[in-house]
Amino acid sequence: MKDSIRNLLGATALALISVGGVAQAQDCPRGTLDERFCDVDGDLVADIPTDPAQWIDPDTLIFAYTPVEDPAVYRDAWVEFMDHLEAVTGKEAVIFPVQSNAAQIEAMRSGRLHISGFNTGSNPLAVNCAGFRPFTIMASDDGHFGYEMEIITYPGSGIETVEDIKGKQLAFSSPTSNSGFKAPSAILKGDYGMEADRDFEPVFSGKHDNTVLGVANKDYAAGAVANSVMQRMIARDVIKPDQVVSIYKSQTFPTTGFGTVYNLPPELQEKIKEAFFTFNWEGTALQAEFSKSNEAKFIEMNYKDFWDVIRKIDAANGVSYACE
């Protein structure tokens, strides 16, 4: 299927596919999950409904990648994967470029998004509120995965240490982003005794690439970003390495988690998993783009273990997973 047709169909399908099959609240173990879901096996993600009447089996599968960077670049990067997904599942598949984490979560919550990559920080919200079942992340050939949060500034800004941010402006991406807000907020408060509004002026750029560009162009004095995003932007010559200076690097966090909505038929969910794990990256646009951050394959993961540190950061920030 041609990319232009795929995008057109994606917009149409996202608007028209019915919600259908939403589980009713029931008496079951669920932990922090929304009342629509159950977690009998204790893996912290929504169980697949046992009643087939609660499944949705769309003719067209809708996929979305996390809206952290230029949508056009990432729409093109997924072309060969979408063809492979169609071949493995036997269904039409379209990619829809979402504009915000909130819109992405709401699309899955309402049954209009079936497969998705949610960024690190919005993964717990997607799991708890939208019935997201993540099962894979990208990794390097040797199995290394993840990224670090870095606080960056520009040369000559007068900022050489984290403490120098006091009294100045610090750019974040969005409130649901781990490296773009939640992790730096927890680190600044816990390690440096610094809080937004009291010690520095917080601003939100909307996306990691906006923060990187804003700092490189001296629009922001400093910014908190995912360094994997910054690395890919440097590799694409969007910015030059000498336009930014890193003054802090965090521990390694899991990167974007990919998975399905909970109420697709079990056989279809297995086919989607198969598509991820059998996709050949060699010579594809996906390889060309993500090799810039040293990613070369999909590996299996689970939310309970891989996102443990993120849930702890959320707890430190007082983040609630209650759905609104």
Q: Which SS3 state, helix, strand or coil, does residue 133 take?
A: strand
- Count of CB atoms within 10 A of residue 100's CB? 14
The CATH architecture assigned to 52-144+254-317 reads: 3-Layer(aba) Sandwich (3.40)
Order across the sheet with 201-204: list the strands.
201-204, 169-172, 222-226, 147-153, 245-253
Order across the sheet with 115-118: list the strands.
92-95, 60-65, 115-118, 257-261, 132-139, 297-300
Tokens of 263: 């109420």
Q: Report the distance separating Cα 301 and Cα 269, nearest Å.
A: 15
Residue 51 per-residue DSSP state:
S
Predicted structure pTM score: 0.78
Q: Please give the average pLDDT of every successive group of 10 residues along the chain, which has 324 residues.
A: 42 41 67 96 97 97 83 84 98 91 93 95 96 97 92 97 97 93 93 95 94 97 95 94 96 94 98 98 95 94 93 89 86
Which residue spans of the chain are classified as CATH 3.40.190.10?
A: 52-144+254-317, 147-252
Q: Which SS3 state, helix, strand or coil, does residue 311 take?
A: helix
Q: Which SS3 state, helix, strand or coil, does residue 240 take?
A: coil
Asked if CATH classification 3.40.190.10 holds for the domain at 147-252, the reply, yes or no, is yes
